[in-house]
């Protein structure tokens, strides 16, 4: 028999013994596995969800203007006059300058804010609206139905639903209400020649900062916002939300760590005796460590696999019902959407290292201490 | 098959340097010739079990040397001691120390796992040993269900699975009735006939006076107080 075959056979024996040993302590191991899976599930869910939301936000912002210019009055966002757009057209490096009209409308019927927006092409007929899927769902509205809003002057403005935005774009469009420019101005009382903000397209990304500086020079009362800054803000918001979820979980994490440590460090008298017997019949320290390594490895790998698989299904299959209210809530009308699976391999590796490796270490250290002691002493 | 074991000035102190230090073995010199059956006799607490564990490489002496075929084994690194426990010494514990939850066959095969012996060959060898010791029919039974005699035979089979040259048994008849004790002595006789060195600790007169025993070494308070050959004595 070659040395390799002997080594493989030896590892197989150790693995067989480990499985038998685990099944002998079935109740305890199942309990531990359950708690372990639960922890990995929660951590992985938060990780997957925030990662996927950041990914969605990135996709969303890929369509956003390179710079948005807002007018500030007394530190507050104010309407920006169309003349400001003319001043921006002269800045080198700016290709498109476009005034935008958008705002929020509170609907007491569903106690939710809608995002009202004039589409860039202004292709919505006056008196009609194109609405987002969540809004349609909340109001029970279909194509041809009429929704009326009370405007700034107290008059009712009826809108006939011309179309409902497709479900695929739900994250971006869930609470959208697209209207014609004339209707928007009438509803909110915004005079001609005034816009909510101005969008700039900059073909060369390296010029964005320079253009922003020139915008400030040309319009000292303005605030240019770069797309990269918005992306960073989204990241920060989702990271903050993740931390918000993880903070209460830290107690559970600590409890798990204590459980794992107690289980691992406090070898029971039975386990110590078993290690002593195995050593007495000729097992080496390395064999016992291998056996315990298999045991800890099997348990933690199973927990990692079940936990991450369940988290994947929870986040991408069920749209994270346990996390959505905390993690997603920037709007009252939650979009009914399924996140595109977006998993960061580095984060997954970090999760693996945080859950599997400490457990293995906590299992192996006390076993190693028992295994290097004389068998007679271990069994006493 | 045979092996000679020598002890020179062996001492074993537990909790050395502490107020509760206890001298279990106090300067024992003993030579066990290759082959034959030696019994370590003496009252409880005389150091019989400790001496067996020192010879069987389950513990290290605080002082002195244990030699196997002239080679000092008391200071060997742990992997070498494990190899000796696995292949040279077979140990039968007083309470058998079988692993609960495993079957008789699995318990017997345990010492051979680290050797990576092919499974079929190992199962066959373990089965043959159990047959020979009269417990072949219990091979698939969990060890918790064994009677005292069956558990002892299983422990003997486990000790013999790697074909050791020295078999050590600690108080082998302590948990057996007379009939089972006699059956055990028959097994000992068979192993002796194969040329193995057998070392038993016992304060059971049935064992000490058995015809199969070549030598009785008496311990008291960790010291060797008598060393006699019952056959020679009876001839006189």
Segment A342-354, tens digit of pLDDT? 777 888 888 888 8
What Cα–Cα distance (Å) separates residue A160 from each residue in A119, A127, A132, A142, A182?
17, 6, 14, 10, 15
CB contact under 8 A, A379 and B97: yes
* CATH level 3 topology of B33-60+77-235: Rossmann fold (3.40.50)
CB contact under 8 A, A376 and B86: no
CA-to-CA distance for A16 and B193, rounded, in angstroms?
Answer: 36
The alpha carbons of chain B give a radius of gyration, in whole angstroms, of 18
The pLDDT value given to residue A332: 47
Q: What does the domain layout of chain B look like in residue ranges?
A: 33-60+77-235
Alpha helices (H) in B16-95, listed in sequence order? 48-55, 78-87
- Chain B: nearest CA to A263, how far in angstroms? 20
Q: What does the CA dihedral A239, A245, A248, A250 come to, rounded to 10 degrees?
A: -60
Q: Which residue from A7, A8, A280 is facing B91, i.e. has the nearest CB? A: A280
Phi–psi pair at A88, nearest 5 degrees: -80, -25
Q: Which residues of B touch A375 (CB under 8 A)?
A: 58-59, 85
Kindly report, residue by residue over A149-180, the tens digit of the pLDDT: 888 888 999 999 999 887 655 556 777 889 99
CA-to-CA distance for B232 and A23, rounded, in angstroms?
Answer: 55
- The complex scores an ipTM of 0.91
Kindly report, residue by residue over B5-55, the tens digit of the pLDDT: 899 999 999 988 888 889 999 999 998 888 889 999 999 889 999 999 999
CA-to-CA distance for A106 and A111, rounded, in angstroms?
Answer: 7
Query: Which H helix or E strand runs over A78?
Result: strand A76-78
Q: Please report where in the chains the tokens 């201490």 appear, as a residue.
A: A369
Say if residue B230's pLDDT is above 90: no
Query: Which H helix or E strand runs over A96?
Result: strand A96-100
**Which of A25, A273, A282 has the highest number of chain B CBs within 10 A, making it the mutation to test binding with B?**
A282
CA-to-CA distance for A45 and A321, rounded, in angstroms?
Answer: 11
- Helix, strand or coil, per DSSP, at residue A204: coil
Q: Which residues of A touch B116 (CB under 8 A)?
A: 1, 5-10, 13
């Amino acid at each position: 028999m070659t040395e390799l075959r002997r080594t493989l056979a030896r590892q197989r024996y150790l693995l067989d013994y480990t499985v038998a040993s685990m099944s002998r302590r079935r109740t305890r191991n199942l309990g531990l596995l359950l708690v372990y899976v639960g922890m990995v599930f929660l951590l992985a869910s938060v990780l997957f969800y925030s990662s996927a939301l950041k990914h969605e936000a990135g996709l969303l912002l890929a369509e956003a203007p390179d710079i948005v210019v807002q007018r500030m009055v007394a530190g507050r966002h104010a309407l920006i006059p169309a003349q400001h757009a003319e001043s921006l057209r002269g800045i080198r490096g700016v290709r498109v300058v476009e005034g935008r009209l958008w705002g929020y409308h509170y609907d007491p019927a569903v106690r939710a804010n809608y995002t009202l927006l004039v589409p860039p092409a202004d292709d919505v007929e006056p008196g009609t609206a194109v609405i987002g899927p969540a809004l349609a769902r909340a109001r029970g509205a279909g194509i041809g139905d009429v929704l009326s809003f009370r405007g700034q002057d107290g008059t009712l403005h009826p809108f006939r639903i011309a179309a409902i935005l497709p479900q695929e774009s739900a994250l971006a469009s869930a609470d959208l209400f697209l209207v014609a420019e004339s209707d928007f101005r009438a509803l909110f009382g915004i005079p001609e020649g005034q816009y909510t903000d101005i969008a700039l397209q900059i073909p060369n990304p390296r010029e964005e900062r320079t253009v922003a500086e020139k915008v400030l020079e040309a319009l000292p009362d303005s605030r240019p916002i770069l797309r990269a800054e918005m992306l960073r803000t989204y990241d920060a918001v989702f990271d903050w939300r993740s931390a918000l979820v993880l903070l209460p979980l830290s107690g559970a994490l600590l409890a798990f760590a204590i459980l794992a440590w107690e289980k691992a460090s406090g070898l029971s008298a039975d386990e110590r005796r078993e290690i002593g017997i195995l050593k007495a019949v000729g097992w080496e320290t390395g064999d016992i460590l291998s056996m315990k390594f298999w045991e800890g490895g099997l348990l933690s790998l199973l927990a990692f696999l079940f936990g991450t698989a369940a988290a994947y299904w929870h986040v991408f299959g069920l749209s994270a019902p346990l996390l959505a209210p905390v993690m997603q809530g920037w709007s009252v009308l939650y979009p009914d959407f399924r996140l595109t699976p977006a998993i960061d391999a580095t984060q997954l590796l970090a999760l693996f290292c945080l859950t599997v490796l400490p457990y293995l270490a906590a299992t192996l250290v006390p076993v190693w201490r028992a295994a290097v002691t004389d068998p007679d002493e271990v069994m006493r | 098959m045979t092996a000679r074991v020598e002890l020179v000035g062996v001492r074993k102190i537990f909790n050395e340097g502490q107020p509760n230090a206890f001298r279990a073995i106090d300067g024992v010199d003993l030579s066990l010739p290759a082959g034959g059956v030696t019994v370590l006799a003496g009252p409880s607490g005389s150091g019989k079990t400790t001496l067996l564990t020192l010879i069987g490489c389950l513990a290290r002496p605080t002082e002195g040397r244990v030699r196997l075929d002239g080679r000092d084994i008391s200071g060997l690194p742990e992997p070498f001691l494990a190899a000796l426990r696995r292949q040279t010494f077979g140990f039968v514990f007083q309470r058998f120390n079988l692993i609960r939850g495993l079957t008789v066959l699995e318990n017997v095969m345990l010492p051979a796992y680290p050797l990576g012996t092919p499974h079929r060959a190992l199962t066959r060898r373990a089965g043959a040993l159990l047959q020979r010791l009269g417990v072949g029919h219990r091979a698939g039974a969990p060890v918790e269900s064994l009677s005292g005699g069956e558990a002892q035979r299983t422990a003997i089979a486990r000790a013999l699975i790697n074909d050791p040259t020295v078999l050590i048994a600690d108080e082998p008849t302590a948990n057996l009735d007379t009939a089972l004790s006699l059956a055990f002595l028959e097994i000992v006789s068979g192993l002796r006939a194969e040329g193995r060195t057998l070392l038993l600790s016992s304060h059971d007169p049935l064992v000490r006076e058995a015809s199969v025993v070549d030598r009785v070494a008496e311990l008291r308070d960790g010291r060797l107080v008598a060393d006699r050959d019952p056959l020679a004595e009876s001839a006189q």
